Structure 1
Amino acid sequence: MTASSYLATRAANTAGSVSLDTSTHPTQLRIAGDWTLAHYHELRQQTDALSDGFAASAQVDMSELGALDTAGASLLVELLGVQRLRLLAVQAPNLPESSRALMQTIQSALTDYHQPQKDSEIATGTQLLARIGCAVEVVWNDTLQLLGFIGLILQTFVTTMLRPKRWRTTSVIAHIEQIGLDAAPIVALLTFMVGAVVAFLGATVLKAFGATIFTVDLIGFSFLREFAVLLTSILLAGRTASAFTAQIGSMKANEELDALRTLGLSPTELLVLPRVLALLVSLPMLTFLAMICGIVGGGVVCAVSLGISPAMFLSLMQADIGVQHFLVGIIKAPIFAFFIAAIGCLEGFKVQGSAESVGAHTTSSVVQSIFVVIVLDALAAMFFMEMGW
């Protein structure tokens, strides 16, 4: 006999089978061979044929049962049912304990299984309202956290100002260099270009009315009151607030904040206060630089396109634009700076400890800072307009 024929005979001899012996009393259900995945198709046909073909009183003979795996055990569980499985210890005393435990485990799993029910469809309008409600709740919680954090900053500031030995002058100066001096070129270039664009637009629109001379007033009013402080604040919201969040968030992820607290140091005093003070100093100075560069950009366009000389440009600004417009613009800079720094540092403290969390809160700090700056600027514009300033 060849090896292949031997293996075929071996597989046929060990293939599982089930038969019903009606010659005995009571009827016996004989289960023999290997009940494994390799013989699953044939065993499924045999069990389906006997599913309703024997009485409940029939005894089970498993004396010739061979190998048993999960697939075969599931077929036996379906064939025998719960009642016969409970009597296996009596009707099949020679059944290995492992096989009995396997069938009982599968029977328990099949009994406990329930077809998952599909959730009912929620109306689109209801989903929309639910998402709006969740968004409002998030905004409300973020607002409360920001107000609480602002209170903590003010408390720390007052406490530190009364103790000169705890002033961190070196840290404040270093942050002023990073925030203000390093950002000066991009602020100057941006506002210069915007000033030139505003002058082009003003000259184009006012030319139809024969009032191109008022382009000077348009440039002066827009940059002294709004554009300079708004553009600078938005630029620093993207540049500085994100840096604050990433720096503090990385420290929290590396558990450096916990180390500071263990040493008895206040993270608010050590990390937040120097950044807030540095931005309070840097943003007004950058705003003043933005005013100058924006007006210079508009003056260059007026000189090139409208024939308005620099001397005439400056004289028209001096005659038509009062100093209160400069004060209206510059007074908003510290307010914007305080909120930008507070939001950037607060989002850094919210980091959970992973790189993904650092990125998410960095993005959130930029979005929140820009949003708050625009809202505050709109409120300030309405207030000053009503006051006649």
Structure 2
Amino acid sequence: MLPPANGMLHAMPARRTLLACLTVAALLTGCSYITGDRSAGRADGKPTRDANTSSGALQTGWMNVRNWIRVNLLALDRTSPKVVTVRFRLTNTGDASFHTGDKLSYTDYGTADWHATAVTLVDAQARKHYYPLTATDGECVCSVFDDGGDIEPGESMDFFASFTEPPGKALIVMVPNTPPFLGVPVGDKPGPVEPGEGQPVRDAAKLDLEAPKILPIVGVSRAVDGSKEEEVDDKEVEVRLSSDVLFALNKADLSPRARQVLTDVAARIDRSKAAVVKVDGYTDDTGNDAINNPLSRRRAAAVRDALTGLVTRDGVTYQVAGHGSADPVAPNTSEENRKRNRRVSVTFAR
């Protein structure tokens, strides 16, 4: 049996983390990954898996690479105030040398050394993506190795990475090219982390640290029937309602189907903590501003009026605006994209 071949998220530097709806759903509700041992004899001469090498690991997975690389998640501990550290072990169970440097590092990190900078944490409840801490000396608070971290067949190497402590009690550990380790509890083990052989000590408690890199996770989903799109981050929800579903052509009177769609939105608002709901109308780029701007404003007002009667929670106020063809969510280069741009967006705090 081969190691899992499903492609997993490889964390890369970005202004913010954008995950498709299915990926976010997997992070929030779980997805397939490998745990325990995979001991089995092989008739083709490949190495067998030794069950003892996985003992003591919180979880075990396999890198989606050509080599047979086992990933043992050893610990996720609070190692100093407001700092947690991931420790994991890579074992080469294949028959060729394995170069870990470009698997665990950003190749553009800026120094000649390799760093375990591509290992990250996800707090799914808070919708936050955490990157390893960096000290003011320019090095990460993680495993630093200058020889590429080559692991020969049958050998293992330990690695670590330290992070600002997320608020969640059970986190997702992301190791590149490996299915995510889900629901990992945070333990307590104060003191510096013992680095792997040949790696320098990087103790967050004794280093001057840069501001942590923590990015929001943005989940995007689209209804199968095209009635709405939804974007959710760590702070707010934006529901983009299709004007083609809500209104007739060039009209601002709600259709019979609109009530069902808006009832669902109202229920989301009732469950939220929002005190202010923004309702913004948009059109595509056909027509002109003299038509599109007032039409988008009237449509936003119609949605506001309907939500006022459907939302049952007290203390909610509404802000209404029409923007015409401004701020398209997709280029107006096809009818499908124009349909997406003809919308009324309802935005509120989570």
Q: Same fold (TM over 0.5)?
A: no
Greater Cα radius of gyration, structure 1 or 2: 1
Structure with more of its chain in helix, by fraction = 1
Structure with more of its chain in strand, by fraction = 2
Bin the TM-score by the shorter chain: under 0.3
Q: What TM-score comes out, normalization by structure 1 length?
A: 0.16
